[in-house]
Amino acid sequence: MIKLSRPHIGEETITRVAEILRSGNLVHGKEGAAFEAELSAFLGVKHALVVSSGTAALHLALLAAGIGEGDAVIVPDFTFPATASVVSMVGARPVLVDVDPYTYCLDLTALQQCLASWRGPERLRAVMPVSEFGHPVDMVALRALLAPHDLMIIEDAACAIGAGEEAALSGTQADIGCYSFHPRKTLTTGEGGALVTNNDDLAQAMRRFRNHGMERGEAGLHFYFPGLNYRLTDFQSAIGRDQLRSLPGWIARRRELAQRYADLLQPLAERFAIALPAAHAAHSWQTYMIVLPDHVQRSAVIAALAQRGIEANLGAQCLSALGIYGDKTAPSLSVARRLYTQGMALPLYEGMSDDDVVRVVEGLGAVLAG
Ligand X SMILES: *Cc1c(COP(=O)(O)O)cnc(C)c1O
Residues in contact with ligand X by CB under 6 A are 53-55, 79-80, 82-83, 130, 156, 158-159, 180, 182, 193
How many CA atoms lie less than 13 Å away from 237 in the CB half-sphere? 25
CA 340 from centre of chain: 16
CB of 355 to ligand X, least distance (A): 28
Comparison of 346 and 367: residue with beta carbon closer to ligand X: 346
- Measured from the CB of residue 83, what is the shortest distance to ligand X in angstroms? 5
CB of 226 to ligand X, least distance (A): 22
- Comparing CB distances to ligand X, the nearer of 83 and 342 is 83
Provide the minimum distance between the beta carbon of 270 and ligand X in the complex, in angstroms, as a whole number.
30
CB of 246 to ligand X, least distance (A): 19
Residue of closest CB approach to ligand X: 54
What's the rounded Cα separation, in Å, for the pair 103 and 313?
18
Residue 129 or 363: which CB sits closer to ligand X? 129
Distances from the Cα of 52 to the Cα of 79, 137, 141, 178, 266, angstroms: 20, 24, 32, 12, 40
Q: Which is nearer to ligand X, 49 or 364 (CB)?
A: 49
Closer CB to ligand X, residue 104 or residue 261?
104
